[in-house]
């Protein structure tokens, strides 16, 4: 789960990580008040769940509180389109007004769990303010990593090693070490999947400050942190993803696809997207209905797929182990009756109660083509896509 | 002999809620040798009038000689259940539970590192050896067929798809192993490949990977150096975009190496036969075995 920069910054502060003086505004008046309190030049940062804000015009320096108010007014209520968002962008509902610092050096710091190593890894780079993947590809010698012991945690000497590798001024080594240890605590105690500071800055008077704050929370651990689960901002999600989130469905909207995919199981869902692509059309979504979905959730899943205006045809692929094909079929028929969409369905159903499921579908007045396996689904899909193109 | 589970398997089940009980009944009906059920407070009762209940795993192991454990307990309690089973000395522990926090699995893996127990999962469909009617997991027993192809996969339902394709082309399985879709998991592709290579009943191997992590690359490296049996591989997620989690916690493209195309390239270079589409796994194996 993503959270906003200002929310991540609040968590940083709770753990003693130095951050710039700032405030959050959703109106020009609030922005002016915060900028006056800070005084002088300030930076105005759009609060959205997307990287690439700077290049997209979502982060700007202004010289006065009046300008901060004007810029806030311009930004709020618009959508920011960055290289990481879709073409419609993400809504700006809040901005952060923050003090500017006299910066001597920009560094990078992040913490993730490396699945292959099975341990938390702290990564630092002397090249702050840049795309870290780019740094890793072009100048890998400028990236330093330490692996934390899963049971002991990050040893202070590990943090010190990083501070020294980053070549911070001698008088800042102690503060940098403490900051890295505190960020590690942020990561572990909040069950994060990512903590990232880009840039981490050294100021002219050798203070170490987290100029940016990014936290991704691990979805599977939110049950331990109800207060963090409340930080979700559903408006930052695609509207269809927002509905899926409410119904607890694993759904991802994919841009530009025409084939809606309804599948049980994540691996099979990806495989179904792949055969769609092989058949000559892009999948419109990833959707795993899971093993224990009831009819209500199946209905909502189907509605989400057909409410996607990009979708022209739906591919249903079910290999029911825990799931029941008849329940899925009944859900599809009920949902289709409530929507105006009358698009063709290609259906493969195997496993638990598959025969009953297929009967329910063929007895309905839906435009159904039943196939017996994945290869058959690919063939029929290709044929149906050709028919659609001809009729267009 | 198949691998991991066979006629020697003496199964203990932990976590008999709604889904766990349903799966345990099917496991029992299939013919798996289930010797103990663990549920605090039901000591003295019997599951399905057949398998004795115990309140503690260690007590159950002492009294029944169970050597294999399966876990269906909800995610918040999965770490505790794994550690209880490891401490009781079970040889094999299979954790089916989905949604276990990654940091819990990180701790579990560090804890069991020097212990004799082998862990499969979390978030996996488990293991099934059709020739021995030994099922430790949720793979539907009506789709499998005894035979000589070993299957190892990160997925659940895509594993069923692969099994169905093998059967459709007339090929049965020695053992099917779902290692799970979580980024941190016990037994890896490499571990299972080693077991299949040593298994006399396994003639060929199907490997099903997906986007995320670099375990497929490690498998490719291992295959190149140590595997003489033919391997057919399929990688799911060729059409997945970067940076978005595709259901499985581990299925997210975080860098170039995590992409399907990179994994396929590395596996092909290691001499693995690639099923160009997930619909062609069975056909590819048929072609390879002739």
Strands (E) in chain A, as ranges, are: 22-25, 42-46, 59-62, 79-80, 90-91, 95-99, 103-114, 119-125, 143-147, 192-203, 208-210, 214-217, 250-253, 259-263, 285-288, 313-320, 345-351, 368-371
Verify that B115 and B152 share a domain, yes or no: no
The CATH number of the domain holding residue A327 is 3.40.50.261
CB contact under 8 A, A322 and B241: no
pLDDT of residue B205: 98
- ipTM reported for the complex, 2 dp: 0.91
Of the pLDDT bands very low, low, confident and very high (cuts 50, 70, 90), residue A85 is confident
**Is there a single domain that holds both residue A79 and residue A188?**
no
Q: Is A117 exposed, middle or buried (0-12, 13-18, 19+ CB in 10 A)?
A: middle
B127 located within any domain: no
Report DSSP state, residue B203. Answer: -
Q: How many other β-carbons are positioned within 10 Å of the β-carbon of residue B80? A: 13
pLDDT one-digit tens code per residue, B185-235: 999 999 999 999 999 999 999 999 999 888 999 999 999 999 999 999 999
B12 burial (CB, 10 Å; 0-12 / 13-18 / 19+) is: buried
Residue with tokens 């994994």: B263
Residue with tokens 């029944």: B64
Which candidate from A221, A319, A377 shows the least CB-CB separation from B157?
Answer: A319
Q: Whole-number mean pLDDT of chain A?
A: 92
3-state secondary structure A365-392: CCCEEEECCHHHHHHHHHHHHHHHHHHC
Question: Residue B5 domain-assigned?
Answer: no
Calculate how close chain A gets to B226, using CA atoms only, in Å.
20
Q: Do B217 and B104 belong together in one domain?
A: no
Domains contained in chain B, number = 2
Query: Residue A310: helix, strand or coil by DSSP?
Result: coil
Residue A383 CA to residue A373 CA, distance in Å, equals 16
Whether A108 and A124 have beta carbons less than 8 Å apart is answered as yes
Query: pLDDT band at residue B116, thresholds of 50, 70 and 90?
Result: very high
Q: What CATH number corresponds to the domain at position A165?
A: 3.30.470.20
Inter-chain CB proximity B208 and A151 less than 8 Å: no
Q: In terms of C-beta density within 10 A (0-12 exposed, 13-18 middle, 19 or more buried), how is residue B85 classed?
A: buried
**C-alpha gyration radius of chain A:** 25
Statement to judge: residues A44 and A118 lie in one domain = no
Q: Are A324 and A387 in the same domain? A: yes
Looking at the domain assignment, is residue B128 inside a domain?
no
The reply to whether B116 and B17 lie within a common domain is yes
B238-264 pLDDT tens trace: 998 887 777 776 777 677 788 999 999
Q: Which of B105, B154, B236 sits opposite A274 (nearest CB)?
A: B236
Please determine, for residue B37, whether its predicted confidence score (pLDDT) is greater than 90.
Answer: yes
Share of chain A above pLDDT 90, in %: 74
Q: Which residue of B has its CA nearest to A193?
A: B102
For testing contact with chain A, the best of B247, B255, B256 (most A CBs within 10 A): B247
Band the pLDDT of B19: cuts 50, 70, 90.
confident
Question: What confidence score (pLDDT) does residue B232 get?
Answer: 98
Domain assignment present for B4 = no
Q: From the list A136, A292, A374, which residue is nearest B161 (CB)? A: A374
For B261, the domain range is 143-289
Range name among A299-303, A383-387, B74-78, B161-165 with the lowest pLDDT average: A383-387
B24 and B153 co-located in one domain = no
Q: Are residues A307 and A357 in the same domain?
A: yes
Identify whether residues B105 and B159 lie together within a single domain: no
Structure tokens at B45: 């009762």
**SS3 assignment, position B277:** coil
Q: Which residues of B touch A113 (CB under 8 A)?
A: 102-103, 106, 183-184
Residues of A annotated catalytic, as ranges: 108, 196
Q: Would you say A192 and A186 are in contact if contact means Cβ atoms under 8 Å apart?
A: yes
| pLDDT number for residue A134 | 81
Listed residues A82, A100, A118: the one ending a domain: A100
How far is the C-alpha of B205 from the C-alpha of B198, rounded, in Å?
12
Query: Which among A150, A250, A270 has the least Cβ separation from residue B240?
Result: A270
**Domain count along chain A:** 3
The residue among A236, A251, A280 that closes a domain is A236
Residues A269 and A376 in one domain: yes
Q: Which of B213, B234, B279 to mutate to test the interface with A (most CBs of A within 10 A)?
A: B279
pLDDT 10s digits, A240-253 = 988 998 888 999 99
Are residues B21 and B147 both part of a single domain?
no
The residue among A205, A236, A267 that closes a domain is A236
Q: Are A217 and A193 in contact (CB under 8 A)?
A: yes
Q: Are B207 and B233 in contact (CB under 8 A)?
A: yes
The pLDDT of residue B249 is 67
Q: Inspect the interface and report whether the beta carbons of A374 and B165 lie closer than 8 Å.
A: yes
What per-residue confidence (pLDDT) applies to A388?
85
In DSSP terms, A247 is beta-bridged to: none
If one counts every other C-beta atom within 10 angstroms of the C-beta of residue A385, the result is 19
- CATH code at B252? 3.40.50.261
Residues A139 and A224 in one domain: yes
Q: Which chain B residue has the Cα nearest residue A285?
A: B240
Domain that holds residue A323: 238-391
B106 contact residues in A (CB cutoff 8 A): 113, 118-120, 150
SS3 B101: coil
Using the beta-carbon criterion (under 8 Å), do B161 and A268 form an inter-chain contact?
yes
Structure tokens, B160: 């069923």
Residues B202 and B84 in one domain: no
pTM as predicted: 0.92
């Amino acid at each position: 789960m993503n959270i906003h920069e200002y929310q991540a910054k609040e968590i940083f502060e709770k753990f003693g990580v130095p951050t710039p003086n700032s405030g959050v505004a959703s109106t020009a008046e609030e922005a002016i008040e915060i900028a006056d309190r800070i005084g002088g030049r300030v930076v105005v940062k759009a609060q959205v769940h997307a990287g690439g804000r700077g290049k997209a015009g979502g982060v700007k320096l202004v010289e006065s509180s009046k300008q901060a108010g004007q810029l806030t007014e311009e930004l709020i209520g618009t959508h920011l389109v960055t290289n990481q968002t879709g073409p419609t962008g993400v809504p700006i509902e809040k901005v952060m007004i923050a003090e500017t610092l006299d910066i001597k050096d920009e560094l990078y710091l992040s913490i993730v769990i490396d699945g292959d190593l099975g341990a938390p890894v702290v990564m630092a780079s002397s090249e702050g303010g840049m795309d870290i993947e780019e740094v890793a590809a072009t100048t890998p010698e400028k990236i330093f990593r330490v692996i934390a012991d899963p049971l002991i945690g990050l040893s202070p000497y590990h943090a010190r090693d990083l501070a020294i590798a980053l070549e911070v001024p001698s008088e800042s080594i102690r503060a940098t070490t403490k900051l890295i240890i505190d960020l590690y605590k942020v990561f572990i105690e909040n069950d994060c999947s990512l903590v990232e500071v880009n840039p981490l800055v050294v100021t002219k008077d050798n203070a170490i400050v987290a100029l940016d704050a990014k936290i991704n929370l691990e979805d599977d651990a939110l049950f331990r942190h109800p207060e963090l689960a409340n930080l979700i901002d559903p408006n930052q999600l695609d509207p269809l993803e927002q509905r899926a989130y409410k119904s607890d469905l694993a759904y991802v909207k994919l841009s530009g696809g025409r084939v809606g995919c309804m599948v049980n199981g994540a691996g099979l869902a990806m495989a179904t997207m792949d055969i769609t692509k092989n058949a000559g059309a892009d999948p419109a979504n990833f959707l795993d209905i899971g093993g224990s979905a009831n009819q209500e959730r199946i209905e909502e899943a189907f509605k989400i797929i057909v409410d996607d205006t990009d979708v022209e045809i739906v591919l249903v692929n079910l290999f029911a182990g825990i799931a029941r094909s008849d329940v899925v079929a009944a859900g599809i028929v009920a949902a289709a009756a409530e929507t105006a969409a009358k698009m063709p369905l290609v259906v493969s159903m195997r496993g638990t109660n598959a025969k009953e499921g297929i009967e329910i579908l063929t007895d309905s007045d839906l435009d159904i083509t039943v196939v017996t396996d994945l290869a058959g689904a690919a063939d029929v899909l290709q044929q149906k896509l050709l028919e659609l193109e001809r009729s267009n | 002999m198949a691998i991991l589970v066979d006629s020697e398997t003496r199964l203990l089940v932990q976590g008999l809620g709604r889904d766990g009980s349903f799966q345990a009944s099917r496991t029992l009906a299939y013919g798996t040798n289930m010797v103990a059920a663990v549920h605090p407070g039901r000591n003295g009762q019997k599951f399905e009038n057949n398998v004795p209940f115990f309140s503690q795993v260690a007590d159950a192991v002492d009294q029944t000689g169970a050597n294999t454990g399966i876990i269906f307990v909800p995610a918040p309690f999965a770490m505790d259940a794994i550690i209880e089973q490891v401490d009781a000395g079970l040889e094999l522990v299979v954790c089916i539970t989905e949604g276990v926090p990654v940091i819990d699995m990180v701790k579990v893996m560090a804890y069991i590192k020097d212990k004799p127990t082998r862990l499969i999962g979390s978030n996996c469909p488990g293991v099934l050896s059709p020739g021995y009617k030994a099922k430790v997991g949720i793979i539907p027993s009506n789709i499998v067929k005894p035979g000589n192809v070993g299957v190892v996969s990160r997925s659940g339902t895509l594993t069923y798809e692969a099994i169905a394709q093998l059967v459709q082309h007339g090929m049965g399985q020695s053992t099917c192993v779902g290692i799970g879709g979580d980024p941190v998991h016990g037994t890896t592709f490499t571990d299972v490949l080693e077991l299949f290579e040593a298994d006399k009943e396994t003639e060929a191997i199907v490997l099903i990977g997906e986007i995320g992590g670099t375990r497929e690359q490690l498998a490719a490296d291992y295959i190149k150096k140590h595997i003489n049996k033919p391997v057919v591989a399929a990688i799911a997620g060729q059409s997945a975009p970067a940076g978005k989690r595709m259901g499985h916690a581990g299925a997210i493209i975080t860098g170039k190496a995590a992409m399907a195309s990179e994994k396929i390239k590395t596996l092909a270079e290691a001499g693995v036969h690639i099923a160009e589409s997930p619909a062609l796994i069975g056909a590819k194996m048929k072609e390879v075995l002739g």
